[in-house]
Structure 1
């Protein structure tokens, strides 16, 4: 099946979206659904899980945990996911280049199933350590897939619709967050009896991914750039495009592979020393930092407690409202990204988040005098990110990898000539 349409940026250019491409994108973002699910499901059942911690501690040591120790243990349990993601993110390039994009996603998927097993038995085994290990394994899974999935989608998608398809990754995460928020409600599965089952439900999309993704094409770019197998790349690209005429794209990938010769042994240190790498690396670091330091994760992980302290009557329902709005605006971005461009939407989102952090600070300050001002730090990071994006980040809408790389090389040449 082939779907024909025209993009807003190039009204005369006909694009083809095949069923193979759609299936590949949908199968890959089942991993993003799991990331979102485990981001959104740990919030509402905080008191239930803290009671499990306290009860387990009393059975072991015949005394309850102190409030300070309980708070520290809960915070560590929540943040263990981020710790695991940090560890695995350092290895994602090695895994992706060695096993391929699609196969690496499937390998990462096994970590999700292992995590579900640990979290699922934690209550029966009376082991708070099993829950923490499960969160760490989910973190490893998240750290890999947060790079692998968008990389796979970008490399299999046609240039003119790459932005829209890449947005499906974020949309799947927001849907996962919302589902996690619903499942963790006290009148659903966020109870002292069913919370381990609630944490284990991500096994469903994990199994579905194993049933679908193995039948999807591997990234043609991986075959050309990493394996130097042009015939395999052409065959996979023909499946994705639904046509035998893929010579132009293949030649573009081969030219990109030629430009990458000599960079195979680039070390982490050289990434920050070689001048031609500095600008793209700096952009990647700042944009990712602006996302992680935006305050979004703090809201998602602790919103129920924040709303409860703010005096909101139904804090869990308000948290669900955040999830619903998250989905709504991600859907908008699917349709707007090719019209308005990635850079414009990025700056708009950063500015709005900065404004919202200021409003959160003012609203929570009517309960507390010091604690809520942490959101001003997030505001500062975001405002810096807006300015940096405006002055230094190039627009990539409708541009090939080759064209974006050429712009970086040109900018580097200009900078070198000045000094």
Structure 2
């Protein structure tokens, strides 16, 4: 595809508008960290006003943990509905209606102090979590479907870039001198409605995904109108549609039952787990306390430093992804993180006896974040979109999203307890997990760079073990596979 011909004003507007959802997702991950003490004081004041006594510390811890973790529960539930919603409403309308969740959630959080209600705060976090669960699937799905093959990787990375930019904006605005103060924290939480209003204003001017229009809704005329680079794209979509007419809509259960989809869905789930169980969220949720332990003078600014590195290396990944390939970058990221986790453990363990280890500790945290953004950050999200054709894609996205949010919830709830138990050795657990994911990626994950959805499917045929001798004629990657076997793959038992 001639990428220059494809990048039109409408295309740029569509991608920008879609990733506003990812920006908001990132903002809501990062926003809760800084004002923790202020919000806890308000919970206490509310309790005092209602019951005439200070809040018991156990109750306060539970309420705070719930405020943080209910976000992931909202995300888990809505991510599971992603397939149904994106098919029923279409990608664009689903993004538009999803903004209502963000608006309601943001408003509830912003007004919770005024109304003296921690219930409003918790409900707001749940609703904004539901928004983020849908946005985290709809954005990469929409961007992946409107992007030409040659730009799909780089544009897929924009989803992650917007997330980390959102986290960084939240960290900076959360400084006490800005909005992280006792009076202004409701404004900090309420600001999440700004990207919502922007996205709602721009979406009517964006086209629906031509892949969705042509393949799901069978509206060839509309799809052509929404697609500038008609020739190559339409040929690819026609081939995909022909395949899809042979394959039924795939339910979530079928993804696991059918030998055709089992390997790709296991790969998708493990890639999502490699993102969340790498330990990155442990660093983001508790970075300030980790930096205090490491003896850093201004831990808040060190956390913002980690946020800046996060953004910088996402941009690096943007340029590398079409040159080096998805699989290579993912392995590079996992390997680098594993080494940094081991160094961090050693530095934290030696901190009391060797004071200058605090610098090593900081450097290894920064390295950990940098390697995350090269591989496990951006890559799992659009691998799912690339491993599945239109038939099973929505169900696969829902399963992958659900796995991601569930792992996120487990880390959010469990890390503090495990850290208290293991002390400085907590990151060794992550190092072992990273090593496992690295080995898995090396042996099981195919390269998808520059291939059409069809060729990726044929690649699975080639890798399949067992029968299927009659499909030998289809193994040439340059020729689209013609059997009923989209992603055909004998189960490896």
TM-score between both structures, scaled by the size of structure 1: 0.91
What residue is the counterpart of 2:78 in the other structure? 88
The correspondence for 2:209, drawn from 202, 216, 219, is 219
Match of 1:130 in 2: 120
Give the aligned CA root-mean-square deviation in angstroms: 2.1
TM-aligned CA deviation for residue 334 of structure 1: 1.0
Indicate which of 420, 439, 457 corresponds to 1:405.
457
Q: Which of 300, 311, 328 is the matching residue for 2:284?
A: 300
- Does structure 1 retain, via aligned residues, the 8 Å contact 2:108–2:124? yes
Q: Pick from 275, 284, 289 the counterpart of residue 268 of structure 2.
A: 284
Matches within 5 A, 1:15-414: 16-238=6-228, 241=229, 246-261=230-245, 263-365=247-349, 366=351, 370-412=422-464, 414=466
Distance 1:49 1:214, change over 3 A: same
Q: Secondary structure at the match of 1:312?
A: coil
Counterpart-to-counterpart distance in 2, 1:121 and 1:370: 39
Contact 2:148 2:233 in 1 (8 A): no
Q: Could you tell me which runs of 5 or more consecutive residues in structure 1 were left unpaired when the two chains were aligned.
A: 7-13
Q: CA deviation at 1:137?
A: 1.0
Residues 355 and 107 from structure 1, CA distance in 2 versus in 1: closer, same or farther, beyond 3 angstroms?
farther
The aligned counterpart of 2:487 is: none
Q: CA deviation at 1:374?
A: 3.1
CA shift, 1:105, in A, is: 1.3
- Which region of structure 1 is more displaced relative to structure 2, 313-322 or 298-307? 298-307
Deviation sequence 1:21-54 (CA, Å, 0-9, x none): 1111111111111011111111111111111122
Structure 1: how far apart are the matches of 2:324 and 2:18? 26
Structure 1 residue 118, shift from structure 2 partner: 0.6
C-alpha distance in 1 between matches for 2:125 and 2:428? 29
- Inter-CA distance 149–59: structure 2 relative to 1 (3 Å threshold): same
SS in 2 for 1:49: helix
Question: Corresponding residue for 2:484?
Answer: none
TM superposition shift of 1:343: 1.1
Equivalent position SS for 2:226: helix
Q: Report the Cα offset of residue 265 of structure 1.
A: 4.2
Compute the displacement of 1:311 (Å): 2.8
Distance of 2:345 and 2:44 partners within structure 1? 32
Gaps of 5+ in 2: 353-419, 470-489
Point out the more displaced range, 176-185 or 224-233.
224-233
For 2:7, what is the secondary structure of its paired residue?
A: strand
Secondary structure class of the residue paired with 2:26 = helix
Q: Kindly provide the CA deviation profile for residues 229-273 of structure 1, in whole angstroms up to 9, marking residues without a partner as x.
A: 1111111113xx3xxxx2432232122122123544432221111
Query: Shift in Å at residue 150 of structure 1?
Result: 0.6
**382-391 or 84-93: bigger deviation:** 382-391
SS state at 2:139 partner: helix
Distance 2:62 2:467 in 1: 48
Identify if the C-alpha distance between structure 1 residues 389 and 136 changes in structure 2 by more than 3 Å, giving closer, same or farther.
same
Report how far residue 63 of structure 1 moved.
2.2
Shift of 1:302: 1.8
